[in-house]
Chains A and B, each alone.
Chain A
Amino acid sequence: MSDFDPEQFEDKYANYFPELQRAYKSAFETMNDRYDSELVHAIDQFVLNESEPFYEGDGQFRVELPENPYDRLQGVVVAEEKFEELMDRYEDELEAELQSVFGFEA
């Protein structure tokens, strides 16, 4: 089980980098299997590259996205509504993977 330490998470990129990578990769693979691969790739490359995960307490994580994520997309044509829906699912997936990687039950 994980010895998750919220204070260590403040410096997450030094202390929890492998765990974070695992969570992001699992979420990516799940999304890529289930939804439009092209859009999932675009979100990965143009939106999540400016995202940051935070620990909210009580085993909850939050992934903060950059402003106007829809406007950041390149190379794909997608209606904003559809994008928002997929983005919400991606966020949920990431947050669930973070919980799982750090030993919290979703």
Chain B
Amino acid sequence: MSTETEDGGDELREQVGNFLRRNFPQIEMHGGSAAIQDLDRETGEVSIQLGGACSGCGISPMTIQAIKTRMVDEIPEIEKVHANTGGDTGGSEGMSGGSMSPSFPGHESSSGDADDDEGPEAPF
């Protein structure tokens, strides 16, 4: 799982960090942060976590898309970028655990049975 190897993992990590600072200064200017969560040199996959004010500021979707597209173009070693805001949409109650899945009774995709109003959380 630890994916940094000695042959340049740190260098690539630095390259990714520099890329973010150079091309996306807005992240820090807006009080946000971008952390490299994981970097797999063999597969060329990197995971970026946007935090701080990035969550729910309205521009994180665009920023994420731009990072994904441009990093792959500009850093040859990077093949795929995973970027997210960790699901922490600070400020909205009920959104506290990012990994928490809501329980949709009978929630199955394309079953279309979720149309009985908007209060399905009370189990009968």
Q: What is the CA–CA distance of A25 and B61 in the complex, to the nearest angstrom?
A: 10
Q: How many inter-chain contacts with C-beta < 8 Å in the A-B complex?
A: 99
| Pick from B57, B64, B84, B94: contact of A75, CB under 8 Å | B94
How would residues 102 to 124 of chain B score, 1 for a CB under 8 Å from any chain A CB and 0 otherwise?
A: 10100001001011111011000
Query: Contact at A38–B95, with CB atoms within 8 Å?
Result: yes
Q: How far is the CB of B85 from chain A (nearest CB, A)?
A: 6
Q: Does B56 contact A (CB under 8 A)?
A: yes
- Point out the residues of chain B lying under 8 angstroms from A27, CB to CB: 58
- Point out the residues of chain A lying under 8 angstroms from B21, CB to CB: none
| Pick from B58, B61, B66, B87: contact of A13, CB under 8 Å | B66
- The A contact surface, by secondary structure, is helix
- Point out the residues of chain B lying under 8 angstroms from A37, CB to CB: 92
Q: How far is the CB of A29 from chain B (nearest CB, A)?
A: 6
How would residues 58 to 73 of chain A score, 1 for a CB under 8 Å from any chain B CB and 0 otherwise?
A: 0000000000100100
Query: Contact at A49–B114, with CB atoms within 8 Å?
Result: no
Q: Does B3 contact A (CB under 8 A)?
A: no
Report the 7 A-B pairs with minimum CB-CB distance, sorted nearest first.
A28-B58, A48-B61, A13-B66, A25-B58, A49-B61, A75-B95, A41-B89
